Amino acid sequence: MTKKILYRGAEAEILLSTYMGRTVVEKRRVQKAYRIKEIDRQLIASRTREEAKLMAESRRIGVSVPLIYDVDLFNGIITMEYLAGDRVKDILNILGKQKRKRICQKIGESIARLHNHDIIHGDITTSNMILFYDRLYFIDFGLGCKTIEIETKAVDLHVLMEAFESTHSQYSSCFNNVLDGYKKNYRGDPVRVLHTIDDIIRRGRYR
């Protein structure tokens, strides 16, 4: 099978490929010509390792992510399961009210599970979620990290709130369903997280 580019971004290319007879996705980090070659390789290896670790830990705690088949630190490639599902971004606006509500609650539940273990996704948008056989998968942990900071957890949710307002503006209230799922499953104090989101919004408004 000839490799097919599914997406090309500033930091990585996403390719459809094969691995041991399976159709897979390769996430290949892009080398930066402006960086010293050795430093660039170290950064690529470090970020590839961190993303793979976050994905593996997310799966262990019950958040659905693609299976990882291979990690090539030297070339910055993660080979993972291909999910022939739908991006939530592409289907959320056409779903029935009850299914849309259920999916949004599932999103909140999954984010809470991540935050319970101090995992920050870093780019939670409906573009980075796939619905496959009625299961919600999170993809692209490239900007992720681990931290106990409430502010960073609030930023994670704020990114999603802005995604709802821009991509799903007619259903922006669905973010409340996300928060319902989050509050029911977050083991910390969800009120602190929500207050911090409000602070982030105010800082952005008066900057």
Query: Mind telling me the catalytic residues?
Result: 123
- Residue 64's CB is within 10 A of a number of other CB atoms, namely 17
Distance CA 108, CA 130 (A): 14
User: What residue has token string 């390769």?
Assistant: 26
The SS3 call for residue 26 is strand
| Cα torsion angle, 46, 49, 51, 57, sign | negative
Count helices and strands (H / E) in the chain. 6, 10
In which order are the strands placed within the sheet that holds 22-29?
Answer: 4-8, 12-19, 22-29, 77-81, 68-72
Angle at 71 between CA 20 and CA 137, to 5 degrees: 85
